[in-house]
Every structure is written in structure tokens, then in C-alpha cells.
Amino acid sequence: MNTSKIVLFSILGLFVILFFWGCNGYNGLITADQGLNKAWSDVEADYQRRTDLYNSVIKVIESSANFEKSTLKDVLEARSKATQIKVDINDPASLEAYQKAQASLQGSFSRLMAVAENYPDLKTTAAFSNFQAQVEGTENRIKVARKDYNAAIESYNLRVRRFPGNILAGIFGFRDKPFYKADAGTDKAPVIDIKIK
């Protein structure tokens, strides 16, 4: 076999190796991207579950004629804002806006629940009692879904940034994506003021 054929076969072999490496790397990036899209979908599904629970208890509270309407109005406004935000997981600003809206909804709903404590007739309804039992489980689901989303982001970002995958990621336009961050202020322990009489 002459030298020109050896060089040709070597170049062809190298091309085949690079082709299969490129296909494998690209498919890995696609798989990681789809994994994080699914993880984000799970986060949204759990937030939707919470919104559905909130809607159920809001209906129960609305039927209570004597309930403080201003507190209920705040929750309805926060719910409206939280459900209107569309998230692009490639855009940190939209993710942050979504987190703020969800935190606002949760905060206003917590105030609503505190006010509801002053209404014994409301607290004894089956729907209200059922809600209180379900809300804790839903919040845990949200926490787990956000944790799973961040794990998917970590896996994806590592594929995008590690060599030699970063070469393929750059060629095909895959970029780092933002993590789901804790709500502002949650890094500080709450102040608990217990007054014993």
C-alpha cells in the first residue's frame, strides 16, 4: 500500500471519528436541553397545582360574606400577575420576574390565611380544612421540583462549558442557562418574636 492511500485512509478515519464524536456530543446537548425543559415544566406544574389550590380556597372565602374584602383583593391581584408571566428559561430576567410574582402571590396568600384565622365559621368548612392539609404537600413539591430543575441546569451547563463539548455548544448555539434562585431575603433567618403573657 502506498503512502498516499495511507494518508487518505488516515484522513478519512479521522473524519469518521470526528463525525461520530460530533453526533454524540450534539445528541448529548439536545438530551440535556430537553431534560431541563422537562424539569422546568415540572416546576410550572407544581406552581399550577398551588394556584389551583389557592383558587379553591379563594372561592370558599369569597362565599363568606363578612370576610375582609381588601385582603382577598390583594390575593386576587397577585394571582392575576403570577399567572400572566411567561417564562423563557434562557432569559434570567423573565425567570426572576416569575419568581417575584410567585413570591408575591405566596406572601399575599399567607396574609389571607392569617386573616382567615379570625373567622371560626370559615375554618370549620371542609374545603378550607382540606386546603390546609394539601398546601404543605404542594409547597414541598415545589421545593423538590425547583431542586430538580437546578440539577438539570447544572448538568446542562456542565455539558455546555466543559471541553470539548463547549466547542460543539458554541457551534450549535447552546448557551448557559440561569439557575432558579432563592427568593430575595430568604438567606436571612426570620425574626420570631414570641410574647408570653
Question: Which pLDDT tens digit goes with each residue over 23-68?
Answer: 888 999 999 999 989 999 999 999 888 888 888 777 777 766 566 6
Query: Is residue 191 pLDDT above 60, yes or no?
Result: no
- What local confidence, expressed as pLDDT, does residue 114 receive? 77
Q: Is residue 62 part of a domain?
A: yes
Query: Is residue 21 pLDDT above 50, yes or no?
Result: yes
Print the domain residue range for 63.
3-172
115-132 tens-digit pLDDT: 777 776 666 566 666 777
Query: Is residue 189 pLDDT above 80, yes or no?
Result: no
**Does residue 126 contact residue 157 with C-beta atoms inside 8 Å?**
no
Nearest to 159 by CA among 147, 149, 170: 170
- Per residue, the 3-state secondary structure of the chain, as one string, reads CCHHHHHHHHHHHHHHHHHHHHHHHHHHHHHHHHHHHHHHHHHHHHHHHHHHHHHHHHHHHHCCCCCCHHHHHHHHHHHHHHHHCCCCCCCHHHHHHHHHHHHHHHHHHHHHHHHHCCCHHHHCCHHHHHHHHHHHHHHHHHHHHHHHHHHHHHHHHHHHHCCCHHHHHHHHCCCCCCCCCCCCCCCCCCCCCCCCC
What is the CA angle 133-126-71, rounded to 5? 75
What total number of domains does the chain contain?
A: 1
Q: What is the CATH number of the domain that holds 24?
A: 1.20.1440.20
Query: Is residue 187 pLDDT above 60, yes or no?
Result: no
Q: Which three cell numbers stand for residue 97?
A: 420576574
126-158 tens-digit pLDDT: 666 677 778 888 888 999 999 999 999 999 999
Distance CA 99, CA 60 (A): 27
Mean pLDDT of 169-181: 90
Q: Name the one residue in this structure whose C-alpha cell is 421545593.
A: 143
**Does residue 29 contact residue 172 with C-beta atoms inside 8 Å?**
yes
Q: Is residue 179 part of a domain?
A: no
Q: Is residue 78 part of a domain?
A: yes
- What local confidence, expressed as pLDDT, does residue 192 receive? 42
57-106 tens-digit pLDDT: 777 777 665 666 777 778 888 888 888 888 888 888 888 888 888 888 88
Cβ atoms within 10 Å of 25's Cβ, excluding its own: 19
Burial 79-97 (b: 16+ CB within 10 A, else e): bebbeeeebebeeeeebee
Q: Is residue 186 part of a domain?
A: no
C-alpha count within 13 angstroms, C-beta hemisphere, residue 33: 14
Q: Is residue 14 part of a domain?
A: yes
